[in-house]
Amino acid sequence: MANPGQPTIAINAIGTAVRRLQRALRRTPNHGVVVDGNFGPVTEQAVKEFQQGANLQVDGVVGPQTWGALPDGGPMPLLQQGSTGPVVERLQTTLTNGAADWWGVTPQGVDGIFGPNTKAAVKAFQGWGHVAVDGIVGDLTWSVPMQAANATLETVVGLQFVTG
């Protein structure tokens, strides 16, 4: 199961479980869901739409059956200057591939090390994606829609990097 041990949640819930739910809903894909940790009317409507599409009881309550049908809602890693590894390499590749047509700044190489040039490319991408421009790749940056149908930064970089 992609979301083991999650509590039953419904409208007005707040916190980590709601963030996991919202990330999972975004991955269905439903790009209208914002990952903010607040189970409000938009999240409730997205849950009901998902439940209907999955032939589950449509009640807006996320219990074991709904959790089990959703994709993994675990977070992508938080990336910032100093981060390293394959996920940074994939991020750099993605930022390089889209820069010429969309945000204009590349990380100036693909080496798996999040340095100042990668930070500059992330900031340009964040501006293009209309999210906070801080050079840190967190939930909001991961959820920026890309030009490909139903793709976000996290799906282009790869959901195999979800951290649980």
* pLDDT tens-place string over residues 13-30: 999 999 999 999 999 988
Which residue carries 């293009």 as its tokens?
A: 128
Instruction: Name the β-bridge partners of 62.
Output: 9
Question: Can you tell me the mean pLDDT for 77-101?
Answer: 96
Percent of the chain with pLDDT over 90: 83
**Chain centre distance of CA 42:** 17
End-to-end CA distance of the chain: 12
CATH numeric code, 16-69: 1.10.101.10
pLDDT score of 1: 63
Closest CA to 154 of 22, 40, 13: 22
* pLDDT tens-place string over residues 132-148: 999 999 999 999 988 77
Domain residues of the chain, as ranges?
Answer: 16-69, 86-161
Does residue 80 register a pLDDT over 80? yes
CATH 1.10.101 assigned to domain 86-161? The reply is yes
74 — pLDDT class (breaks 50, 70, 90): very high
149 — pLDDT class (breaks 50, 70, 90): low
Q: What does pLDDT average to over the chain? A: 94
CB 37 within 8 A of CB 19: yes
* Helix, coil or strand: residue 85: coil
Question: Can you tell me the mean pLDDT for 78-94?
Answer: 98
Percent of the chain with pLDDT over 70: 98
Side-chain-facing half-sphere of 126: CA atoms under 13 Å: 18
Does residue 164 register a pLDDT over 80? no
pLDDT score of 100: 85
Lowest mean pLDDT among 50-59, 66-75, 122-131, 140-149: 140-149
CB 107 within 8 A of CB 118: yes
Within this chain, domains 16-69 and 86-161 share the same CATH topology: yes
